[in-house]
Amino acid sequence: MAHNAPQAHHPLVNNAVLHTVVTVRNKKGITLEQIANDTKIGIRTLRAIEQGDFKKLPGGIYDISYIRQYARAIDFDENELLAFYYAKTGLPRPAGAGTPSSSERGGGQLNVRRPEPAEGA
Domain ranges across the chain: 11-91
The three-point CA angle 72-94-44 to 5° equals 45
CATH of 11-91, one of 3.30.479.30, 3.90.1640.10, 3.30.70.240, 1.10.260.40: 1.10.260.40
Q: What is the pLDDT of residue 16?
A: 87
Give strand ranges (E) for the chain.
none
Q: What is the pLDDT of residue 103?
A: 38
In tens, the pLDDT along 67-119 reads 999 999 999 999 999 999 999 999 998 876 554 443 343 333 333 344 455 66
Q: Where are the alpha helices (DSSP H) in 28-117?
A: 32-39, 43-51, 60-73, 78-89, 102-106
The span from the CA of 68 to the CA of 13, in Å, is: 18
Q: Is residue 45 scored above 60 in pLDDT? A: yes
